[in-house]
Structure 1
């Protein structure tokens, strides 16, 4: 019997396991697949280094940097590029406006100068300076941006940026859950533009010269270090088929047999956690099943030629007719990702198109790339990765749903959750959720009466 069973070996589960090990707790990490890392998957072949899932973390959130420092991994910044990213709108690629704060303009000159918006769109955005504060407790991203900055800013700028972060259609994203900082700017400064401008000026300078970072051997390098640290207490290819409470403990059913634990951390996607809790926490199951998950996929294409592209990547504005959500010019974004003379392009998908087969994803990515370039190109290598459970959608009311979930879990002392559906989809938030779940499990073990744990 273990003190804590951690179910799920993505970065949330690995972070929880590391925190438990550091505290000297007896734990067991169970992962259904033959590998650890979850959506973080670095593939190396024929001189190419390809990320199947996320390709970077951000410097201003410290969790991943601190974890990497523990293992002696040095962050690798992106290659210099100005502008770094473009948005395709009305058939043309426009550089992102200078001075963005998250997904909204944070610089008046950047807003006025951008060719991404029409004169009418810019004037409507400036009307934000005169508008009163909103009065809703929560509202959708689209409703918020339309109210403050206008429809054109939403469709041309905010929607492609937010879609790149959260996947799927961003219209119904909850401001309170997905962009609380922007909502706080309105509450504090009344004007979103003024608040964004002041917040951007107060923001510390970027360390290492770039906002995003990875590692020379890709994000999988950190997965490998974490996995090696907890290898002796890890069971791979061991799905948990069911969980049952057992007088202050929990019994887990697996193809290898049953095992028991005093506390349980579910670091799985929300639908999986909901299925495991159904027999004894139906209310929690209903709340977990109510969090939509949008399928996601990527296709990377390698070319034995230098493609006519600029910056690090291209996002698609609404209504452009592309099936890809955007492209990353990987060979221009990161050093050492492709052999000399090759171009490496990554297309990413979300929604129904992400359910296509790997071969179809490659075909669609190539069609959209040829359309954008206006020329015939033939890849030398292709790589495709599918994530059916994809990304959680933080719909309006998400924070209330999570609070309800926490209340429901009080009926099952010793059960804790971790994952990207709780308080953020980024890698730092995922790591933080695992560490927080471990802290709560350790606190529970210290406080639970010994008789309940025998």
Structure 2
């Protein structure tokens, strides 16, 4: 019987194993995960009525792959959208907290009236942004994201709106991001509509708005429910936890080495971060390994705090983003009990802070979150409970040149039976990661069928 080895038990690896199993029910599949649990950065703590997300808390509706996976797992009845809120969130620019303009699409204004009324921008800043409607479109080639937005919408829109929003997605300095790698849709809007604002207005009509709770989806028990559902459907897959793959060789197929021993496989899906993938491919595909090693990562962390609602000030919308360079430690806060239904017991509030690039102990992270809240609120009450989740390899950073590095890295797939998947390549969001896992799992099955190594 043909044997597929999936290295990595995050969402890319789980998706690869699931879709490979669906395509070939009798295929032998082994999934090896270095950590003692599956799911990677998808981790939900369910404790005493709290639903606490350690990593991502939502998927977007207009990217279908994660929702399709949930549907295949029978989870449609568990879907929940964000609670309607106007404004949906605030941005603190170091001086004051101001509402995000309604009708935002990704990070671009899609409602001219809301943009005109926004206190985030000065009259001059608004006038400069509107020049986007008549400004000639630029080259379809890549450019740094900060330069792209400033070219289209002006410096003020970049500093006060887009930088805080995009920094919350990718971490690090969003100005250095590759526009084509991190926000290819925005490049497409410029090329198709000649204007980011005009294109965002079209998208808003098609997709709806975040204020109405139409853009984001989670599960009633948090996104950890997706991991649990996948585990249940992978009952026939051999899952080895605490089993890092430390070596990979081609030897009549593939030989994988772990601290406990080795195993042979006919095909391999490598669904691990860029650094570990590079180490495994160093001798097999040196150019691909070098490209992978060149993809930078940044640390990230989330801190969730439970408070007595009676001791909390009024909180607006779903949360607040904090502009970089203004003395805040966190990138932003989510009011989880106001963003999603049933995330905290009656009478309690749940606040989540997101950190990027901050090296700190759990206690230091909690203290940093409370200092920022004290600055925002004037006084931060003592939390009743805390949860801290740290991710040393938080997210890959798609800096300029990322697409070239990815094409070089994917050259490793010229090795027969090797497939790559994960956030290092074509997108950091759950939908994109699921899509890459699905493509790798199904590609491995096609390879095995083509090689006629019996699947039955």
Indicate whether 1:102 and 2:102 are aligned: no
Q: 1:437 maps to which residue?
A: 440
Q: How does 1:311-322 map to 2 (within 5 A)?
A: 311-322=317-328
Aligned equivalents of 1:187 and 1:415: distance in 2? Answer: 35
Q: 1:286 maps to which residue?
A: 290
Structure-2 change in CA distance of 1:272 and 1:375 (3 Å): same
Structure-2 change in CA distance of 1:218 and 1:106 (3 Å): same
Alpha-carbon offset, residue 205 of structure 1: 7.7
Aligned equivalents of 2:281 and 2:235: distance in 1? Answer: 27
Which is further off, 212-221 or 225-234? Answer: 225-234
Equivalent pair of 1:59/1:207 in contact (CA under 8 Å) = no
Selected match of 2:419 from 391, 416, 419: 416
Aligned equivalents of 1:378 and 1:421: distance in 2? Answer: 38
Alpha-carbon offset, residue 82 of structure 1: 1.4
CA deviation string 1:189-237 (max 9, x = no partner) = 2222223223333446889953112111111111011012224421111
Alpha-carbon offset, residue 407 of structure 1: 2.6
Q: How does 1:178-189 map to 2 (within 5 A)?
A: 178-189=182-193
Alpha-carbon offset, residue 299 of structure 1: 0.5
Selected match of 1:241 from 235, 241, 246: 246
Alpha-carbon offset, residue 333 of structure 1: 1.1
Equivalent pair of 1:284/1:409 in contact (CA under 8 Å) = no
Selected match of 1:301 from 302, 305, 312: 305
Aligned equivalents of 1:127 and 1:198: distance in 2? Answer: 18
Indicate whether 1:59 and 2:27 are aligned: no
Equivalent pair of 1:4/1:262 in contact (CA under 8 Å) = yes
Q: 1:37 maps to which residue?
A: 39
Aligned equivalents of 1:69 and 1:397: distance in 2? Answer: 36
Structure-2 change in CA distance of 1:66 and 1:101 (3 Å): same
Structure-2 change in CA distance of 1:129 and 1:59 (3 Å): closer
CA deviation string 1:113-160 (max 9, x = no partner) = 100011111111112233222126100110001111111100100011
With structure 2 as the length reference, what TM-score do the two structures score? 0.94
Equivalent pair of 1:75/1:213 in contact (CA under 8 Å) = yes
| Alignment size in residue pairs | 448
CA deviation string 1:66-102 (max 9, x = no partner) = 2222232220112222111111124211111112121
Aligned equivalents of 1:80 and 1:109: distance in 2? Answer: 20
Which is further off, 258-267 or 123-132? Answer: 123-132
Structure-2 change in CA distance of 1:216 and 1:208 (3 Å): farther
Indicate whether 1:155 and 2:136 are aligned: no
Aligned equivalents of 1:84 and 1:207: distance in 2? Answer: 5
With structure 1 as the length reference, what TM-score do the two structures score? 0.94
SS at match of 1:389: strand
Q: Which runs of 5+ in 1 are unaligned?
A: none
Structure-2 change in CA distance of 1:266 and 1:367 (3 Å): same
Equivalent pair of 2:62/2:207 in contact (CA under 8 Å) = no
SS at match of 2:304: strand
SS at match of 1:53: coil
Equivalent pair of 1:42/1:220 in contact (CA under 8 Å) = yes
SS at match of 1:439: helix
Aligned equivalents of 1:376 and 1:18: distance in 2? Answer: 45
Alpha-carbon offset, residue 2 of structure 1: 5.4
